Each structure stands twice: as C-alpha cells, then as structure tokens.
C-alpha cells in the first residue's frame, strides 16, 4: 500500500540531499538577528582569549574561527551531500590553511574563496544548528568575524 507520509518525507529528504531545497538561511535567523557558531558573548571563550594573546593577524582571525568551531560541538557541517561533525570541520579548516592560505589574503577573502561553495559541485557549504535551521556557512563565518571585530572595538 502506498503511504503518502513516507513518500512525502522521502521526497523532501531527496530534495535536501540534492540541493533543490535551497535557498538556505544566510546567517540571519527569523527574528533578523545574526547567527553565530556558538554563544554571542565571546569575551570569556577560549577562542577569544587566545586571539587577545595573538598578534591579531588575519591568520589569527582564522584560528579564532577554528576555535569557535571546536566550541560548537552540536553543529553539523554539510559539504557536497556529506555531513560532518566539528572534528572533521576543524581538521578541514586547518588543512585548508596549511595548503591554500595566501599570506597576502585577509580572513574574509579566504572564507569567500574556500567556504562560499564547493569547488567540486558549486553548492554552498552549510551549517545545521540543533534547531534544524540550516545556514550557508559563508555568512555564519562572516558573522563570526564581525562579532570578533565588534567585541574588540567595544573593549578598547
């Protein structure tokens, strides 16, 4: 017997996996607030404290973002139809830094060039939050840089 609920659920899942469920959220929640990897008050986080002790270079901004990924253990990262946890996302980011980082580029350019969308499929890299919301990773990471810069400006 044909079950409409199972068919509909399967169809939605297939659409999601193949990318036809886009557009995804772009770093702004339904209330118009920016979305971050982890808590918005970063002043007491390990990521922020390490950044404060650094030379505040563009590469240190990237390292700050990787530390924020480590702090957000309940997020899921989607790339080319595969889903990853924080460990894989952290390792992938570090690998990108080792193999593709241009010392003349700023953090925003690096994110645009390597996180905006897949070089293989052209699909955006995504972050799924525990609420089920899925955001384009590029926008969330830009929000993280804005948060870092805004927090530094308020502290000085």
**pLDDT, tens only, 80-132:** 888 999 999 989 888 888 887 777 888 898 888 888 888 888 889 999 999 99
Give the residue carrying structure tokens 């990108």.
96
Is there a domain that residue 129 lies in? Answer: yes
Kindly report the pTM of this predicted structure: 0.81
Contact 50, 89 (CB under 8 A): no
Reading the block at residue 112, the tokens are 């645009």
Closest CA to 148 of 121, 118, 111: 111
Bridge-partner residues for 55, per DSSP? none
In a domain, 14, yes or no: no
Range of the domain at 123: 26-155
Let me know if residue 95 belongs to a domain: yes
Closest CA to 38 of 65, 60, 58, 78: 65
Query: What is the C-alpha separation between 94 and 51, in angstroms, rounded?
Result: 16
In a domain, 19, yes or no: no
In a domain, 50, yes or no: yes
Interval 38-89: pLDDT, tens = 999 999 999 999 999 999 999 999 999 999 999 999 999 999 888 999 999 9
As for how many domains the chain has, the answer is: 1
**Is 84 a member of any domain?**
yes
Q: Does residue 36 lie in a domain region?
A: yes
Domain-located, residue 74: yes
């Amino acid at each position: 017997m044909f079950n409409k609920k199972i068919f509909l659920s399967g169809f939605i899942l297939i659409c999601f996996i193949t990318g036809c469920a886009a557009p995804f959220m772009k770093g702004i929640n339904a209330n118009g607030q920016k979305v971050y990897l982890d808590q918005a008050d970063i002043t007491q986080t390990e990521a922020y404290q390490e950044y404060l002790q650094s030379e505040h270079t563009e590469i240190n901004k990237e390292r700050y973002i990787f530390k924020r990924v480590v702090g957000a253990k309940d997020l899921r990262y989607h790339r080319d139809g595969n889903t990853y946890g924080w460990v894989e996302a952290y390792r992938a980011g570090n690998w990108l830094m080792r193999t593709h980082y241009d010392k003349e580029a700023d953090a925003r350019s690096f994110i645009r060039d390597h996180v905006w969308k897949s070089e293989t499929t052209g699909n955006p890299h995504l972050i799924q939050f525990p609420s089920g919301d899925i955001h384009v990773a590029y926008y969330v990471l830009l929000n993280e840089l804005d948060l870092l810069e805004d927090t530094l400006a308020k502290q000085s």
